[in-house]
Amino acid sequence: MTEIDLSALETALDALPKRYPGPGGVAGIVKDGKVVATRAWGYANLDTAAPMTRATRLPICSISKQFTCQVLLASIENPDRLDGRIADFLPDFTGPMPSLRQLCDNQSGLRDYWALTVLQGARAEQVFAREDALPVIARMKTGHFPPGTAYSYCNCNYRIVSELIEAETGENLETLYRRHVWGPAGMKTAVLTSDTRYPEDGVVGYEGSDATGFFPADNAIFWIGDAGISASLDDMLAYESWIDATRDDENSLYRRVSVPPTYVDGTPATYGYGIARHQIAGLEFTGHAGALRGFRAQRLNARDARLSVVVIFNHECDSHGAAQSLIEAALGHEKPEPAPIPEGWDGQWLADDGLLVRIECGRRSATLAYATGAETLTLSPDGTLAAAGAILSRQGEAMLMTRPRDNTAPKLTPLPSTETGDATGIAGRYTSAELEADLVIEARDGAAFARFEGMLGNGRMERMEPAGKDVWVVATRRSMDAPAPGDWTAIIQRDAAGEVAGLTLGCWLARRVEYGRCG
């Protein structure tokens, strides 16, 4: 039986407000089915001085996805029979249609619709109503990989799943959550807060940092299926205790959603039914993170060790890092100091999936910029740089980035960097037949800016920077969802005469969107 050090755990809990500074937060640990330690600090609302408590209901954001999948399995017999109805949501889709299970496992290949809202001209603070979602999804005509072959996080997968659940059962999702999960788990105050304009208990989520100050995040999104649940720390700890109580029942809902998934080629996957898999301090954990502008959440459960951790902030600090620190303290786990990183790894590359890759090295760790957030790499004994989700190995001047969690291995070609680019040469209007939306690039005395226009409006001017020859970065720091999609890589396409004919735009959540120049 795995033992924990309660004294070290209490010390780690006391350190959270300083290590992850912000308006407030909650954290709790369950061991052997019992709550052994909790914290609630700071304020749920800085203006009213409402304290953060164990009973304060907070958005758990994308942790909601596993609840949606549990409801699917509990309320619909043989869910695979709904595969044929997915085409109703994608009337113009030209590629292979994903299955319902591939939606639940984030293997659909669909581009994330919160990333696409940026390309459809949405601004971070505008209202996104329930009826706005399906038209965005319906415009998708292609995916960025064939279904079942790879992993890519995609919120609209669960939006489609939730619509199918409600249509098939004739009941709303909140009723089903309460019947199948919240009630049995003893989550007495959990609710579905689909409209983020009206959070529970007057709680406020904050953007910013100690350096910039904290300011209320202005959210106006309607969530269902992909997020939307609000729950207190007590609710979430009751959920973890229920998971522990049913850990040996193979028919229990959490056991069913946490069965290890695979890709179509039989390769093991690390994400399925709204559950991600992690290895921390030598133990296997299942869980999920959550992020909405102004909030961060993380829950993790190690079935064999009978250990669970929950952390929720009403600001944008690293909830996964906080949860991991509690686990390591409880288990007395100390990470060995990484080996120094030799010279020659810094630089930028263009991946063969059309995305820019940048590596910046410190003495004992390196930062990889590729997906939505930075990944920290350290030197492995075999001479590669590795993180939990990426392994970088040299291939002469090029490099291979193996991403086991994504089931991908893009080859990276060196891209000499540049400080200046011909902004005038790329200025103009571009249109995407895929999205039925436009991109306008303007040149301003050597600088370049981009604006997206589409079914959701005209977006703000976004800064562009030259990265290399005919490669530009469109910096999207804020968007309707959180975190923002990150930097978009724009690769300029030229015709035989060398004139700009169009561009390919992409980020990890939405790759290879083609635009043709039209003015």
Residue 147 token pair: 């279904």
Distance CA 291, CA 313 (A): 10
Beta bridge partners of 463: 449
Q: How many CB atoms lie within 10 A of CB 1?
A: 6
Catalytic residue (choose from 65, 108, 232, 319): 65
Evaluate if pTM is beyond 0.75: yes
405: its two tokens: 């969690």
Count Cβ atoms below 10 Å from residue 213 Cβ, excluding itself: 9
Cα 145 to Cα 152: distance, rounded to the nearest angstrom: 9
| Measured distance CA(327)–CA(27) in Å, rounded | 12
Q: Tell me which CATH code domain 423-517 carries.
A: 2.40.128.50
Geometric angle at alpha carbon 92, from 90 and 95, rounded to 5°? 85
- Number of Cα atoms under 13 Å in the Cβ half of residue 436: 10
Q: Which CATH class is domain 6-109+145-331?
A: alpha beta
Peptide bond into 199 cis (omega under 30): no
Residue 496 near residue 514 (C-beta atoms within 8 A): no
User: How many CA atoms lie less than 13 Å away from 506 in the CB half-sphere?
Assistant: 23
Residues 327 and 334: beta-carbon distance below 8 Å: no
DSSP type of residue 267: -
* Amino acid identity, position 273: Y
**Cβ distance 272 to 255 under 8 Å?**
no
List of residues 6+ apart from 504 with CB closer than 8 A: 354, 490, 491, 493, 512, 513, 514, 515
Q: Is 62 a known active-site residue? A: yes
Residue 167: alpha-carbon gap to chain centroid:
27
β strands within 293-405, DSSP E: 295-302, 307-313, 347-351, 356-361, 366-369, 375-379, 385-387, 390-395, 398-402
Residues 414-435 pLDDT 10s: 999 998 888 899 999 999 999 9
* Residue 18 a catalytic site member: no
Largest interatomic CA distance in the chain:
71
| 3-state DSSP assignment of residue 53 | coil
Instruction: Break the chain into its structural domains and give their ranges.
Output: 6-109+145-331, 347-414, 423-517
DSSP letter for each residue of 184-210 = HHT-TT-EE--BTTS-GGG---EEEET
103-112 pLDDT, tens digit each:
999 999 999 9
Element (H, E) at 7: helix 6-19
Among residues 72, 261, 253, 291, the alpha carbon closest in space to that of 160 is found at 72
CA distance 56 to 83: 39
* C-beta separation of 256 from 73 below 8 A: yes
Rounded distance between C-alpha atoms, residue 486 and residue 478, angstroms: 9
The pLDDT assigned to 482 comes to: 84
CA terminus-to-terminus distance, the chain: 68
Q: Which of 62, 194, 319, 479 is catalytic?
A: 62
How far out from the chain centre does Cα 235 lie?
23
Domains 347-414 and 423-517 belong to one CATH topology: yes
Instruction: Give pLDDT < 50 ranges for the chain.
Output: none
Q: Which fold has domain 347-414?
A: Lipocalin (2.40.128)
Helix (H, G, I), strand (E, B) or coil at 142: coil
Task: Specify the pLDDT at position 35.
Answer: 98
What's the token pair of residue 418?
């540049």
- Written as one string, the DSSP assignment of 173-185 is HHHHHIIIIIHHH
- 41 SS3 class: strand
3-state SS class at 82: helix
Measure the CA angle with vertex 19, ends 391 and 388; round to 5°. 15
Given the structure tokens 């980035």, which residue do they identify? 401
Count H helices, E strands: the chain? 12, 30
